[in-house]
Amino acid sequence: MPNLSAVSAKRLNRRRNTFAGRHLYVQMKDEDFMRLAIEQARKGDQTPGAGEVGCVIVRDGEVLAAGHNEAELRFDPSAHAEIVTLRRLGEKLRTTDFRGCTVYCTLQPCTMCTVACIWGRISRIVYGATRDDVHSMYFDARHINTADLVRDAFRDDIEIRGGVLSGECAQFYYRPHENPPLAEQRNR
Ligand SMILES: [Zn+2]
């Protein structure tokens, strides 16, 4: 398990407010969990061969799995952050039924990762930087909108929220106006 994120989640979960002598736990928000995904993106950015996309998967306020892109590290084009993290989640829960779980990802999930979430019965997808915030190299040309993709799969029970801490997340990626080296553009 990625201990850093687990520890951070515990620390955040322990934050309390005192009101009329009673302790009230502060609910962790999407932004808090996105910060943990950003930690993962940073870790991926700093790990030779890994990628700067981070992901955590949360259920009932608890971070169950975390990961970052490992595609080049593992010579595995499917090892996107979400897939890496979904695999860890499955190993931990010993099931492929992830109902009740929320996937937090620093970048709008690609087609492959969105469909993997559908197969895993993920309940929510929350992402940071949107397709409009980053260079087109991170996506295929056809599947523009994550919500449309989910609707195409005839699913109406996955909630999607994009743009959470999008500015912080987008710092990890080439921006739309930048000109990344062709060798890095995996969608070409
Ligand atoms: Zn992906």
Please state whether beta strands 101-107 and 22-25 pair in parallel, antiparallel, or not at all (unpaired). Answer: unpaired
Q: Which residues contact 137 (CB under 8 A, 6 or more apart)?
A: 174, 180, 184, 185, 186, 187, 188
27 CA from centroid of ligand 1 (Å)? 29
Please tell me the predicted confidence (pLDDT) of residue 132: 92
Distance of CA 82 from the midpoint of ligand 1 (Å): 6
Beta 159-161 vs 124-129: how paired, if at all? parallel
- Give the active site residue among 39, 82, 159, 168: 82
131 CA to centre of ligand 1 in angstroms:
12
Instruction: Return the amino acid letter for 188.
Output: R
Distance 113 CA to ligand 1 centre (A): 4
**pLDDT at residue 81, rounded to an integer:** 98
| Whether 62 is catalytic | no
pLDDT along the chain (188 residues), means of 10: 49 47 66 98 96 97 97 95 98 98 96 92 96 89 77 82 97 92 79
pTM for the whole structure = 0.82
Give the C-alpha separation, 107 to 159, whole Å.
16
pLDDT of residue 67: 98
The pLDDT assigned to 111 comes to 87
- Compute CA distances 154 → 30, 65, 82, 118, 148, whole Å: 26, 27, 21, 10, 10
